[in-house]
Amino acid sequence: MASISELRAGIKANLATISGLRVSDFQPDNINPPVAIVFPIGVNYDDTFARGMQTYTFSVQVIVGRVSERSGQNSIDAYISSTGSKSIKLAIESNKTLGGKAFDLRVTDMRNYGELLVGEVNYLSAEFVVLCYAD
């Protein structure tokens, strides 16, 4: 049976394949973009009989600098793309079993694209929803 920490660490490892992207599986005190932060947002228990499977929902928040509107938006757009070397979807789904800790996973959607204020600094961010099926 996989722990939520192991699943989160597996998603982090998949994201670490994107060159230049910092990845954290905890909420950092300071933002140093570009960064992806992985955190759980829900669990559906007992999706099969006898507790054979749970569905874990994770959020991956990608934050980029906003030196200018155009450069920030171009930067985050590369992460949102479903193809290419910076694709969050491709990276997360590159090892769908998270090294044997999960049955399967998939990135279902991107949401909350926009400005993010942290302290007194404006960033751009987007959130990716990941469904992970594990026992």
**DSSP codes joined into one string, 51-97:** G--EEEEEEEEEEEE-SSHHHHHHHHHHHHSSSSTT-HHHHHTTSTT
CB 28 within 8 A of CB 101: no
Full set of structural domains in the chain with CATH = 4-134 (3.30.70.1700)
- Render pLDDT for 14-69 as a digit per residue (tens, 0 to 9): 999 999 999 999 888 888 999 999 999 999 887 766 667 899 999 999 999 987 77
Confidence (pLDDT) at 131: 98
- Render pLDDT for 71-102 as a digit per residue (tens, 0 to 9): 889 999 999 999 999 999 999 999 999 999 99
What predicted TM-score, i.e. pTM, was given to this entire model?
Answer: 0.92
3-class DSSP assignment, residue 5: helix
Pairing of strands 104-118, 54-65: unpaired
3-class DSSP assignment, residue 119: coil
